[in-house]
Amino acid sequence: MKINNLTKEEVLHNLVTSENGLSEEEAKRRLSEFGLNEIEEVKRTSLSIKFLKQFIHFLAILLWIGAGLAILSEILHPGEGMLTLGLAIIGVIFINAIFTFVQEYRAEKSIEKLRLLLPFYVKVIREEKEKEIPARDVVPGDLIILSEGNKVPADSRLIDTTYLMLNNASLTGESEPVPAQHKPCEGEIIESRNIAFAGTTVVSGSGKAIVFATGMGTEFGRIAHLTSAVEAGLSPLQKEIVKVTRIIAFLSTIMGVLFFFIGHLIGIGFWENFIFAIGIIIANVPEGLLPTVTLSLAMGSQRMAKKKALIKTLTSVETLGSVTVICTDKTGTLTQNRMEVKEIWTADYRKIPPSPPFSKSPFCPPLIKGDIGGLSGGMGGLDSYEWLIKTAYLCNNARFINGEYKGDPTETALLKYARENIGELKSERLHEIPFDSERKRMTTVNKILEMEILSPRFPPSPIPRFYALTKGAMESVLPICKYILRNGKITSLDEALKKETTDAYHSLMDKGLRVLSFAYREAGDSSGVLQYAPTFIETDMVFVGLIGIEDPPRPEVSEAVRKCREAGIKIIMITGDASRTAVAIAKEIGLVKGSPFVIEGHEFVRMSDKELREKLTEEEIIFSRMTPKHKMRVVSILKEEGQRVAVTGDGVNDAPALKKADIGIAMGIAGTDVAKEASDMILLDDNFATIVNAIEEGRAVYDNIRKFISYIFSSNIPEIVPYLAYILFRIPLPLTIIQILAVDLGTDMLPALALGAEKPTEGIMKQPPRDPKERLLNLRLLTRAYLFLGPIEAAAGLFGFFYVLKSGGWQWGQMLPSDNLLYMQATTACLTAIIVTQVANVFACRSFRESVFKIGLFSNKLIFIGIAFEILLQIFIVYHPWGNRIFATAPISLNIWLILIPFAVFLFIAEEIRKVFLHQIYHT
């Protein structure tokens, strides 16, 4: 028979398990037999294919053509050194391919490491104990516990359900949740309501199930659907860089061809023109730009992970820097999620009594029913305070297990307070109507033994009674109450008592407390017949009282909110709590200064999009009593208005809003599996301050990319100018192609990467968010690189070149052969000048507006490692025979270095002066 046709007992028998779960020894044996509960990933592109692709992209093809032409020219016109040039260009292709491949491989590995930070855990029962184990360790026969927001780890047969709703979209494509049940079903397994399939999610309710298939044996495995892959892909920024590189390469080619013909017109030979054209192309193209950007993004994501922000894709790193609005939950994000009962109100007590009005004992004895008048008071005629505490205890899904409280933080706080005041309370729960965000209340039906005195001549005898116990939001509980417990009697809840209750509710909320209301009623008639329909149970209830729970704000949130204000980021609180509680907390953390505009859930539903659009322009706005599905509408309208939205969420119903937002942020501790899958970023500590830190890091990553682009582009000018001087003024070529490559793919690489590791500058969160339409290569950056820093380096290079030539007796107009010692020393001086000024330039590019002394001259140690590498490589090129042979250089005297250093000092001082002027402009 199919497993869906079997009864609960038959399922347990067939899978050789029990309601106590497997033993650890048996689970280990089955894991060995059936293997890990994992879906085999689709075959990835092999490393060899990825490496080969580095030789056929646009830039590589351009360089292959150049190398081919150089080798062809050597064949047709030998003796011009074109073979060396051709081989050098091929060397560049290989160096670039290896560098890019290594960087992409490192970036990919960093993403895989980040994935390992967030394993997928499952609750199981083994050896009669509830345990949490990695999903990969689940085996057939395991008894798993399912609750709202869980992802089902393996194909399982349900044996117990409480209002369980499953979303099978990942398997069937049907987005509507379906009700599940645990009774035997006929028909196909795929259509059975008593099967929870691997990869599906629990929308609401709870249940228990026995695993019958794992890994590739599941329905998911059979269709080979990969559920856990994180694909990085090319982000918009990376696509822009690819586009920019191609544009520059195209323009360089046009420039090379144009100057080739100009040279031809003024009488320069074909081969000289050809060398010039190739030099112009290579000097302009930033060969190492894309892999450097990719690695910078990966490094940024790893730095964020250290700050408890797990970035799932590289795309999200750059997007964070342009966020303008954060829509955030309150509980657990702005607050500590450390709930504690602080105040209690009943019609008899106005606050927590200094000592309980009843004795505390380890086990509560059976209750003795007394005459309290009116309707049945139940639970032995207890006063309203004790009634309230016992309702909070029994209408509760938290548990005290192995000396620890486990469950929802709010319910845990209630259970802890109740246990500390009345000890253990025994009761049999018969039914539960679970809490959901629409009803905003939870009800249980409990069987309680009460000791009733039937006659003074006989001892009290136990009588089973059935009670419906309810807790929830005031606006949800009060309307279903007809009575109130006061002075040991059930009294009609008239308007005066309603006002008194509401005033008490408001008073507690104004203190920033989360306030829950409690009520009860008898749930069975005299014959003990129970009716579980909510319309019967949740009517004509007796209001018991209020409990105010404190969830203090996180101490670091106030500073994070201040940072957001300075950074031009608007924060919108969207909470399920009441308005007064939300406003009190918002004022405490500095989120609001005056009287914020507050929209409650019932008002939100009635609002048109036009009205909501207008309200969202308010400077301070709070949404209260909101359900998760309302977030989606807020996010959609904000995005339509051109905002870049980050939104937090932890529940199943938050998933659409998390996907819709520019940055979906899930809670790593309190978040459901569904929310984590839908998000772009996961907070490993559920802390709002971590979001702000991640935004700061995102801005820094984008800023750092601009810094090393500015650094790389600055050296283009001293590489291009020598070729222009060569073609226009008929002088020996001051810088050879191979020497250009020594700069672009040698000395510049490590300093550029070091710039990518710069920490956020002090003023980065005092600037408004970046406009997403703003281009990476804007006019300001290009002007600074090409018209300010670059010309200084070009002047240094030409000065060094002519200084050596003149010192050696060279006359204007005299052309020197490429193997002439004086000529090689002159080109070496030109190359050295570029390297020396690039050392100063790396410090200049560490910030765009702030002095390097303000951010700390030694704050980035990688800079000094990069500079040391740069200088050592240049010493090798200048003084080692191999370096001389490869790069056509010759040793130069120490005084040449000394006369070039002032140019580096001038560049550094000029840039510092520019920053002073900028600082004055922006602060006046």
Angle, helices 236-265 vs 58-76, to 10°: value is 30
How far, in Å, CA of 858 to CA of 870, rounded? 17
Give yes or no for a contact between 320 and 695, defined as CB atoms under 8 angstroms apart.
Answer: yes
In this structure, are residues 258 and 320 in contact, taking their beta carbons and an 8 Å threshold? no
Give the C-alpha distances (Å, rounded to integers) separating 191 from 46, 223, 363, 467, 599: 39, 16, 47, 37, 42
Q: What is the DSSP letter of 577?
A: S
Quick one: tokens of 663?
A: 């940055």
Mark 68-95 as b/e (b = at least 16 C-beta within 10 Å). ebbbebbeeeeebbbebbbebbbebbeb
The Cα-based distances of 220 to 225, 419, 480 in angstroms read 6, 44, 45
Listing DSSP states for 446-486 in one string gives EEEEEEE---TTS--EEEEEEEEEEEE-HHHHGGGEEEEEE
The pair of three-digit structure tokens given for residue 630, joined into one six-digit string? 């309302």
Fill in the amino acid letter for 552. P
- Do residues 828 and 836 make contact, with C-beta atoms less than 8 angstroms apart? no
The set of residues, in sequence order, having a beta carbon less than 8 Å from that of 871 and lying 6+ positions away, is 835, 839
Angle at 132 between CA 436 and CA 185, to 5 degrees: 60
- The end-to-end CA distance of the chain, in Å, is 82
Q: What b/e sequence results for 277-289 when a residue is b if at least 16 CB atoms lie within 10 Å of its CB, and e otherwise?
A: bbbbbbbbbbbbb
Count, residues in the chain: 924
Strands 121-126 and 129-134: antiparallel
Contact present, 727 and 259 (Cβ < 8 Å):
yes
b/e sequence 600-634, b meaning 16+ C-beta within 10 Å: bbeebeeeeeeebeebbeeebbbbbbbbbebbbbb
Helix and strand numbers (H, E) in the chain are 34, 26
Report helix, strand or coil for 846.
coil
* Residue 711 · residue 346 · CB < 8 Å: no
Does the active-site annotation cover 329?
yes
Across 333-487, the runs of DSSP E, i.e. the strands, are 340-346, 367-369, 399-401, 404-406, 428-433, 441-452, 461-472, 481-486
Dihedral angle sign, alpha carbons of residues 307, 313, 315, 319? negative
Residue in 393, 376, 382, 343 with CA at minimum distance from that of residue 359:
382
- The SS3 call for residue 334 is coil
Task: Using alpha carbons, select from 829, 837, 832, 859 the residue that is nearest to residue 846.
Answer: 859
Catalytic residue among 155, 329, 383, 673: 329
Q: How crowded is residue 529: how many other Cβ atoms within 10 Å of its Cβ?
A: 9
Other beta carbons less than 10 A from residue 799's beta carbon: 17
Whether 73 and 81 have beta carbons less than 8 Å apart is answered as no
- 352-356 long-range Cβ contacts below 8 angstroms, 24+ apart: 353/385, 356/385, 356/386, 356/421, 356/422
At 465, list the tokens. Answer: 């009674």
Distance (Å, whole) CA 24 – CA 345: 47
Contacts 24+ apart (CB under 8 A), 39-47: 39/215, 39/216, 39/218, 39/220, 39/221, 39/224, 39/225, 39/226, 39/227, 39/228, 40/215, 40/216, 40/221, 40/224, 41/226, 41/228, 41/229, 42/224, 42/226, 42/229, 47/105
Annotated active-site positions, please?
329
